[in-house]
Amino acid sequence: MENKIAIDIALLLPDKMNKIICDLSNKIIPHADLKPYILNNVNYLPHISILVGTIKIGEVGIIKEKIEQIIKKYLPLKITFKNLITKNTKFPLLDIGNIEELINLRKEIVSLVSLDSDATKEMCFDVDISNGGVDFINNFKRDKFIEESFEFHTTLGLGDASFLNVELPIETVVNTIAICHLGYGCSCRKVLAKIVV
């Protein structure tokens, strides 16, 4: 039986926006009882999740080909980071809101690609991912993709960011979608395939 992995089909950000987000992530104060992570351009990649689930390892190329068929309708896309959200969450984030183009992109990817909801820790890049992280992966399709109220965002890390001073809004243009291996904190730990438009 072919091994399975947990993935995020996600938008990757341009270098300038990556630097802003990584600098913010580096300033977060870790929670005393939780392992922190800091975003970077190598193995904790800033991203905007589109669809999360599990696949067989051999399906990465097939999924990439299916996304290539439709992605030029959606990218490049100008997005605006509007709010820093730090209250009632261990995962501070920059919110970009409910964008019609991304809702439609998610719906079209869902119609083309079948992701499963059977993740285990062993399917993730980091086996020390929390039980909550595994639950997030397995519940994503049910909880997120059909809800037009779901607001797209970039998570900054794990810890206290309530003191951060961020000049918002910030506009950027995204032109890259990737299939990433999910790991600790449901972060994008490794790019398995990517498409640049």
Residue listed under structure tokens 């990817």: 109
Number of domains in the chain: 1
Residue 72 lies in a domain: yes
Residue 133 lies in a domain: yes
Q: Closest Cα to residue 8, out of 191, 140, 181? A: 181
Which mean pLDDT values do the consecutive 10-residue runs of the chain (197 residues) have?
Answer: 91 97 96 89 96 96 98 97 91 92 91 94 95 93 64 93 94 98 96 98
At 21, which amino acid appears? I
What pTM did the predictor assign? 0.94
Residue 192 lies in a domain: no
By CB atoms closer than 10 A (0-12, 13-18, 19+), residue 103 is middle
pLDDT given at position 146? 56
d(CA 11, CA 49): 7
Sign, CA torsion 67/72/73/77: positive
Can you give the residue range of the structural domain that contains 25? 4-186
Could you tell me how many residues make up the chain?
197
89: its two tokens = 């969450």
d(CA 140, CA 146): 10
Residue 194 lies in a domain: no
Residue 193 lies in a domain: no
Residue 120 lies in a domain: yes
pLDDT given at position 148? 59
CATH (domain of 32): 3.90.1140.10
What stretches of 72-183 adopt beta strand conformation (E)? 77-81, 83-85, 93-97, 152-155, 170-174, 176-182
pLDDT given at position 117? 94
Q: SS3 sequence, 75-90?
A: CCEEEEECEEECCCCC
Residue 195 lies in a domain: no
106: its two tokens = 């998610």
Omega before 169 within 30 of 0, i.e. cis: yes
